[in-house]
Chains A and B, each alone.
Chain A
Amino acid sequence: MTNEQSSHEEDARVPRRVIGTPAAGTAVLGDSPPPAPAEDPAVVYPDPIAARKAERLVALLFLVTFLSGVAFIASYVIFQVGTVNSTAASNLALGGSLTLALLSLASGIVLWVRRIMPKYTLVQERHPMASGSDTREYVADTFVAGANESGFVRHKLLRRTLLLAAAPLGLAPLVLLKDLGPLPGTSLRHTVWKKGLRLVVEGTGAPIRAADFNSPGGILSVVPQGYEHDLNALAKATLILIKFRPDQFKAGTIKNWTHDGIVAYSKICTHVGCPAALYEQTTHHILCPCHQSTFDATDGARVIFGPAARPLPQLPIGVDGEGYLVAQADFDVPVGPSFWERGDAEADAREAREKAS
């Protein structure tokens, strides 16, 4: 049984050609001769002896694939994972055998094609992509006729109410997305810092006694007590705490908001929000490792280089009755990256401070 459609008469003059024979564009399953792959300039056949040699090489490569495949399965059974070292060994065994299996299989196939198969090129005609003008005309006529048949053009009321009907349905999926999140409101303007909230060391959670944090040049990464694992709070409230000699501060730092040379700035970079985590003691520069915005810690964390446009906000701090560092209030400007509704919060805050004093 073959897959030819023998009911077609033209097949009669074509010898039985079936899938699997290397036919040059002869009718395989079709009912007419193929579109002309026109000529073969030269078919180069491999030398039979060389081909047999190549066959042995290909067979060897396929055998390597077989063995590597077996090795892969064996590795899966033999190498257990768990520790870093055992995982590394398993990874090496599995990956190594897989790589070798794939590589020798691929190489074998390439050798097979190059050394065993005949080489030749075919030429096929290329026709313009456009359909003939009669086809286009037919389609255009059919379209117009169909449109008229439907009455979509003539019946205005139908057309307009259909468009009207589609509008709310089209909007519905967008409306459905509303509950993806709450509206921003003023949440971006506040952090969890408030009067009396203790500063604790990030990681250990230990409160900081001002008298103990006394070596000038010292720096701590600080979070609010009780929020050590609240990432939403930390994304805005994390601080960088630095100890200076009180006479080192310049005009940019608000001295009332420091305590005995200890100053707290938001650690969240005002550029795009990375933690500005690098500090250079000799120059008092805070550097954000993401985009290298650099802030002068002695001068209100003023920007001295990089893409950040605003200083790191300063948090007013003081000590509580037991001598531990606490916040005096929340930040008076939004921390972190700029956003559309933010406005010049620094100017407003400055004005408010001047009015208060």
Chain B
Amino acid sequence: MTTTLNNATLNNATLNGAALKETPKPIAGTASYLDDRLGAGSFLKRNLRKVFPDHWSFLLGEIALYSFIILLLTGTFLTFWFKPGMGHVVYDGPYQQLRGVTMSEAYASTLKISFEVRGGLLMRQMHHWAALLFVAGMMVHMLRVFFTGAYRKPRELNWIIGVLLLTLALAEGLTGYSLPDDLLSGAGLRITEGVAISLPLIGTYLTFFLFGGEYPGEDVIARFYSLHILLIPGILLALISAHMILMWVQKHTQMPGTGRSNTNVVGAPFYPAFMLKAGAYFLFTFTAIAGLGTFAQINPIWLFGPYTPSDISAGSQPDFYMGFLEGALRIMPAWEINFLGYTLPLSVLIPALVPMGIVMTGLALYPFLEQWVTGDRREHHIADRPRNNPHRTSIGISAVTFYGILWLLGANDEISAFFHIDLYHTTIFGRFAIILGPALAYAITYRICMGLQRKDADVMSHGVESGVIKRMPNGQYIEVHVPPAEDIADHLRGKALIPIVPGEADSEGIPPKGARSILGKARAMMSKKYGTEHIPLEEDGHGHGHAALGPGEGDHKEVH
């Protein structure tokens, strides 16, 4: 046993009052019972003290996880009263303004949950807020994983599971959003139908099968209901479990720092502190959702009225995660191709499929594309700082910009009304911005990454300003620089070189084997671009007493 932290030290230090000398009987009994039957002991032996690295950004995924649990709880509650039917009923409930109005059973039962079930409105609002937090949590978690390169080998499969989870979460959101059958959710359903029917060859069949005939039909809510409460959450639950198991088995990545390497994990043990903290974090997420459900009204369906295909209210907005599709539909020019008696409605097809396709396919393929470009087949357990892989970071920010512009334009009517900008100008702006924005974001991000790398290099080679001004014998004043603190220095030293595939021609002008074809040449070129180290970290032994006031200081570090 190599541990220096054993029972004795901890016990001695903490036992100044009543303390356990052995496992309490009920727990020991249960544990033995389980161990006798499951062999749980060896699992616990390996895992009770499993180490979890600590960093604030590692908590983002947990928001999504906990939101999902709250979604299951609140959702189950809602199913006790919700009736997924489209049959017509005349409302005679307590909400005066809708008395006598013909509506679907789905809408009537949602009103009942809101006004006649104690806590029903709270659970409905919490369910909706938890759904928003679920998707938002997944998104920020995914960005963290992307920008730190935590998707790299051996975690590519878990990354793919994550992409599937995000896609399914969008489908889960869409099907759930449509269930109350109010005017707003119906507008979303109508757009879904308009998109589905635009698909070439299969569009009409797909919509007729989905809606049980022509839109809106009498079936779609019952069908969405079974998708929403059974099929999709079932798959989500299975994939989330797989996601967690893989994370557990592969162990978490860690940020670079003192004592941390690719072959160890440094952090807090699962039991007891981490476990309790995770529990508290679940409760905080729960608090946030309960607080939002209490104090922030969401989807007040009684104000919208029952769905009818003949009406709509201005300013209809989907939930935030669908906004980018809405924005894409809005800025698309009116392109439609008719040929040989068939119609290709590009003005619907392109915005419905292309942005989602670019984002999701791009996400799914990125680990493999990066591996191909860098030729890097090693395992990576130390997270990259985003600045240290500037091209990846720039590509990520470009994608975020692409998504963000579409998302913003999904609310262009609100923007137009709020800021008094001509509505059409926002659309035209969007048509240009969607091309130029990502390019600009790429360039700016790259410069920022380079600047940050330069700053790191500066800290390592020059040290940091000490605030001490020293007068030299010749009368010159300089500020004394001191080496950076050891933990900061170790953090910076975590910068890893990005491998480059060989592509340079040899002395006889013959390129290496893999770089002769066009694809090979392109690969070698991209690899060089992706991996070239422009600003190496150089440690400087004489970092003390460097003059920081002289012009051009630091330029001598440029190395090629």
A residues sitting closer than 8 Å to B (CB atoms) are 1-3, 5, 15-31, 33-41, 43, 45, 48, 76, 79-84, 87, 90-92, 94-96, 98-99, 102-103, 105-107, 109-110, 112-113, 117-118, 120-129, 177, 180-184, 187-188, 202, 221, 223, 229, 231-232, 234-236, 238, 267-268, 271-275, 277-278, 289-293, 303, 305-310, 336-344, 347
Contacts and interface: CB of A to CB of B under 8 A. Distances in A.
A123 B266 contact: yes
A182 B213 contact: yes
Interface in B366-385: 379, 381
5 contacts: A28-B48, A117-B276, A290-B316, A307-B330, A344-B341
A272 B190 contact: yes
B453 interface: no
B538 interface: no
Given A271-B347, A336-B194, 4 more contacts: A30-B44, A110-B277, A274-B316, A290-B312
A275 B309 contact: yes
B342 A37 contact: no
B291 A99 contact: yes
Nearest to A31: B42
Nearest to B192: A272
B332 to A, nearest CB: 5
B115 A339 contact: no
Given A95-B122, A123-B51, A118 B14 contact: yes
Contacts of A5: 35, 41
Contacts of B116: 81-82
Given A110-B280, A231-B308, A289-B316, A274 B190 contact: yes
Contacts of B27: 19-20
Contact of B3 (A20, A24, A94, A273): A24
Given A22-B272, A109-B280, A3 B45 contact: no
Contacts, number: 407
Interface in B179-219: 187, 190-191, 193-195, 197-205, 208-217, 219
A24 B262 CA distance: 22
Given A30-B45, A99-B291, A180-B209, A339 B191 contact: no
Contacts of A202: 310-311
B309 A181 contact: no
Interface stretch (B17-25, B76-84, B496-504, B529-537): B17-25
A103 to B, nearest CB: 4
Contacts of B338: 343-344, 347
Contacts of B344: 340
Contacts of B164: none
Nearest to B340: A343
A269 to B, nearest CB: 8
Contact of B213 (A82, A129, A181, A268): A181
B31 A29 contact: yes
Of A39, A103, A338, which is in contact with the most chain B CB atoms at under 10 Å from its CB? A338
A127 B251 CA distance: 10
A22 B14 contact: yes
Contacts of B115: 81-84, 87
A250 B222 CA distance: 46
Given A26-B6, A43-B5, A117-B273, A1 B28 contact: yes
A102 B251 CA distance: 30
Interface of B: 1-7, 9-11, 13-14, 16, 20, 22-25, 27-29, 31-32, 35, 40-42, 44-46, 48-51, 54, 88, 94-96, 102, 114-122, 125-126, 154, 187, 190-191, 193-195, 197-205, 208-217, 219, 250-251, 259, 262-269, 272-273, 276-277, 279-281, 283-284, 286-287, 290-291, 293-295, 302, 307-316, 326, 329-336, 338, 341-345, 347-348, 351, 379, 381, 412-413, 423-424, 427
A17 to B, nearest CB: 6
A20 B293 contact: no
A121 B267 contact: yes
B205 A267 contact: no
A121 B281 CA distance: 20
Contacts of A184: 204-205, 208
B311 A33 contact: no
A87 B284 contact: no
Given A23-B49, A344-B338, A125 B263 contact: yes
B309 A235 contact: yes
Nearest to B269: A122
A330 B265 CA distance: 73
A289 B413 CA distance: 8
Nearest to B260: A123
Given A129-B379, A275-B309, A289-B312, A187 B214 contact: yes
Contacts of B20: 20-21
A339 B88 contact: no
Contact of A34 (B22, B49, B125): B49
Given A80-B118, A338-B198, A123 B264 contact: yes
Contacts of A292: 330, 412-413, 423-424, 427
A307 B332 contact: yes
Contacts of A99: 287, 290-291, 294
A274 B119 CA distance: 34
Contact of B49 (A106, A122, A293): A122
A134 to B, nearest CB: 20
A275 B351 CA distance: 20
A305 B348 contact: no
Of B5, B50, B119, B316, which is in contact with the most chain A CB atoms at under 10 Å from its CB? B5
B335 A177 contact: no
A235 B276 CA distance: 54
Given A18-B28, A337-B197, A343-B341, A121 B268 contact: yes
Of A35, A91, A275, which is in contact with the most chain B CB atoms at under 10 Å from its CB? A91
Contacts of B11: 21-22
